[in-house]
Structure 1
Amino acid sequence: MAVTAGSEPPVEAGTGQLLSHLRSVLPGLAGALRQVGTVILEDPAWASRATIVELGERSGTSPATVTRFCRSLGLAGYTELRVGIATDIGRADQAGWEVGIGADVLPTDPLDRVLRTLLAVDLQAMHETATGLDLRTVETVIEALVAARRVDMYGVGGSAAVLEDMQMRMHRIGLASWTWSDVHNGLMSAALLRPGDVAIALSHSGRSAETVDMLTQARASGAATVAITNFSTSPIADVAEHLLCTSVRETSYRSGEMSARHSQFLVLDLLYLGVAQRTHERATETWTRAADAVAPHRTPYESRARRGAAVNNDEAADASRGGAR
């Protein structure tokens, strides 16, 4: 999902995005509404068949609360909610996914099942992330990056590792960029930004205090601010001018942050390639210079087959010379 912060559009039934949208907004819902959302996400197939009374009972709420829940998502009513859930399930079935697969990887699962589950979860997360992206917002961010004097990127923990890869690639195509995970250094850098610069913050939960603080300072300095997170209702979303949302569910033994990496790379790759397209001549020239600089440090490689053939040829030559004597 990609929106300008503070102007998030309501989800539309039948678009195949309702469940991913619900996962994104769930942490920001009030207690009773969150209970309804949690029940739906725990068993979407059941929820698509349940009556409004049954959903109210299972969630420990009431039909009136379920109706309020629907309206909080921008839906007209319960019928539209069921249509949205059923559409998501249908899309998942068509793509060969099982809704809810990967919620648990059991200690007794054979490795082939773990592999299939992992593949299904990551592919589904990337597909839902791509489906939810508003390309107009992505275009706006790309244009800001192209015009930027410098780019700051903020993240801690696993997010910092993801951003380090992005920063390296941005440097290769000639875009001055820095990644900050230490909050003190990041705050100092953010304070030196100015209008026309861009600050990107990456936080799966949207609640990493250090990341929120750094992006807040960048906005105060006049930089364009972008947040990449899984939750559109979160502290980081409130700070950012532009919000890019992933759509990721946790699995056993994998935190949400770990599960999010493929979807985060998808969003960052899209930004990177968009910048490279729009700065093609500069990007090509700087990429070539960077590649030439490291080329001498690449170890020459010869396959075993070729090495074996060379040895055999040498032995044959030695034998030939010996026979000639």
Structure 2
Amino acid sequence: MVESVEPVAAVQSAPLGIPHARLSGLDRPDSVLVRVRAQLPEFTGALQRVAEQVLTDPAGAARATIVELAERSGTSPASITRFCRALGFEGYADLRLAIAGETGRAARSAGWAEDIGRAIEPGDPLERVLAQIMAADTQAMRDTAAMLDLAEVERAAAAISSANRVDIYGASGSALVGAEMQFSLHRIGIAAWTWPDVHNGLASAALLREGDVALGISHTGQTRETVEMLAEAGSHGAVTIALTGFPRSPLAELADIVLLTASQATSFRPDALSARHPQLVVLDLLYIAVAQRTHDRSHAAFQRTARAVDAHRFSNGQSKEGDL
């Protein structure tokens, strides 16, 4: 299932014009490609073509002169300069150095990393497919760790730990990720519900109040239903949290707390699907942070739930329900 990405109204903002806390690792020199991917939906025309060229061949961009990159992207040197400034660099030399440093580190990594970005062909052996998937997911996890603002995770954990109830919103693939989080929170005694249907989600959001928490999950941050549900929750005083890959998306702009993830698309796995593992890592971190804050209650909840299902577990190789 691929997440719905019906666009909502574009958010206008100056380059890098979001709070520094939400940028976190995005302004680090070792995450320039993450920065380009995160801002890609905001670029139009010439800047978008430059961004796509850099992401398609970052090593080539690191070697190219400003004129060569302009020719490859079908733009002009002036457009390259505007692109650099949109990313927070003073000029093209700084951008080249940042990309060269990042691609150089990737080239020195273990052998499987060299397949990142290579298209998976129908005749590829499963060994190569596995290596590429592992390389892409590993890089996405590293990028996510670099850009994730741990202070925002702390704020989210504090809000959830003291919440009366937690609503989780998401469509399609994001709904599956949300269901995992709901299960984890419910297991430690946090009253949490997940709402993949917009009608039910809006009805639940309308009943939230101060002291409650709403979590919206959307890789693009543009899924209309998820944006609407989180906005409804926020309008009634709930603390709103967005889990998304794009810091200036509509979902991120309306949330009180923003948790950012990165992704590495591969053949047969577009961004929305490739984002699942980074999303789960961030939510696992958030869940553990909540469990730490509610240790006694969480430990007691684990014991009670374990006893409740113990009769349905195998013992000494035999099922308590008989042969299954």
- TM bin, normalised by shorter chain, reads 0.7 to 0.9
Question: What is the TM-score of this pair, normalised by structure 2?
Answer: 0.87
2:26·2:34 contact (CA, 8 Å) conserved in 1?
Answer: no
Give, in angstroms, the shift of residue 115 of structure 1: 0.8
* Aligned residue type for 1:152: D
Question: How does 1:110-259 map onto structure 2 within 5 Å?
Answer: 110-259=125-274
Cα separation, 1, equivalents of 2:143 and 2:26: 15
Q: Residues 169-203 of structure 1: CA distance to partner in whole angstroms, max 9, x if unpaired?
A: 10111111110001000001111111221111111
2:5 aligned residue: none
* Aligned residue type for 1:123: T
2:119 aligned residue: 104
Give, in angstroms, the shift of residue 15 of structure 1: 2.9
Helix, strand or coil at the partner of 1:17 = helix
Cα separation, 2, equivalents of 1:40 and 1:237: 25
1:44·1:99 contact (CA, 8 Å) conserved in 2?
Answer: no
Name structure 2 gaps, 5 residues minimum.
1-16, 319-324
2:288 aligned residue: 273
Q: Residues 44-64 of structure 1: CA distance to partner in whole angstroms, max 9, x if unpaired?
A: 000001111111121121111
| More deviation, 251-260/109-118 | 251-260
Helix, strand or coil at the partner of 1:109 = coil
Aligned Cα root-mean-square deviation (Å): 2.1
Cα separation, 2, equivalents of 1:12 and 1:125: 14
1:4·1:242 contact (CA, 8 Å) conserved in 2?
Answer: no
Give, in angstroms, the shift of residue 300 of structure 1: 3.0
2:239·2:256 contact (CA, 8 Å) conserved in 1?
Answer: yes
Helix, strand or coil at the partner of 2:211 = coil
Give, in angstroms, the shift of residue 299 of structure 1: 3.2
Give, in angstroms, the shift of residue 98 of structure 1: 3.8
Do structure 1's residue 83 and structure 2's residue 97 form an aligned pair?
Answer: yes
Distance 1:135 1:199, change over 3 A: same
* Aligned residue type for 1:63: P
2:78 aligned residue: 64
Give, in angstroms, the shift of residue 146 of structure 1: 1.2
| More deviation, 51-60/35-44 | 51-60
1:216·1:239 contact (CA, 8 Å) conserved in 2?
Answer: yes
1:320 aligned residue: none
Cα separation, 2, equivalents of 1:278 and 1:81: 42
Helix, strand or coil at the partner of 2:216 = strand
Cα separation, 2, equivalents of 1:42 and 1:175: 43
Helix, strand or coil at the partner of 1:122 = helix
Name structure 1 gaps, 5 residues minimum.
304-325
Give, in angstroms, the shift of residue 152 of structure 1: 0.6
Give, in angstroms, the shift of residue 75 of structure 1: 1.4
2:304 aligned residue: 289
Distance 1:10 1:100, change over 3 A: farther
Helix, strand or coil at the partner of 1:57 = helix
Cα separation, 1, equivalents of 2:79 and 2:22: 22
Q: Residues 262-300 of structure 1: CA distance to partner in whole angstroms, max 9, x if unpaired?
A: 101100000000011111111100111111111111233
Give, in angstroms, the shift of residue 257 of structure 1: 2.1
Cα separation, 1, equivalents of 2:189 and 2:64: 55
| More deviation, 11-20/174-183 | 11-20
> Between the two proteins, what is the percent identity of the paired residues?
50
1:11·1:75 contact (CA, 8 Å) conserved in 2?
Answer: no
1:32 aligned residue: 46
2:24·2:147 contact (CA, 8 Å) conserved in 1?
Answer: no
Larger radius of gyration: 1
Give, in angstroms, the shift of residue 10 of structure 1: 8.5
Give, in angstroms, the shift of residue 26 of structure 1: 0.5
Give, in angstroms, the shift of residue 138 of structure 1: 1.2
Cα separation, 2, equivalents of 1:7 and 1:296: 48
Helix, strand or coil at the partner of 2:30 = coil
Cα separation, 2, equivalents of 1:10 and 1:264: 17
1:183·1:210 contact (CA, 8 Å) conserved in 2?
Answer: yes
1:17 aligned residue: 31
Match of 1:262 among 277, 281, 294: 277
1:129·1:263 contact (CA, 8 Å) conserved in 2?
Answer: yes
Cα separation, 2, equivalents of 1:6 and 1:15: 15
1:4·1:137 contact (CA, 8 Å) conserved in 2?
Answer: no
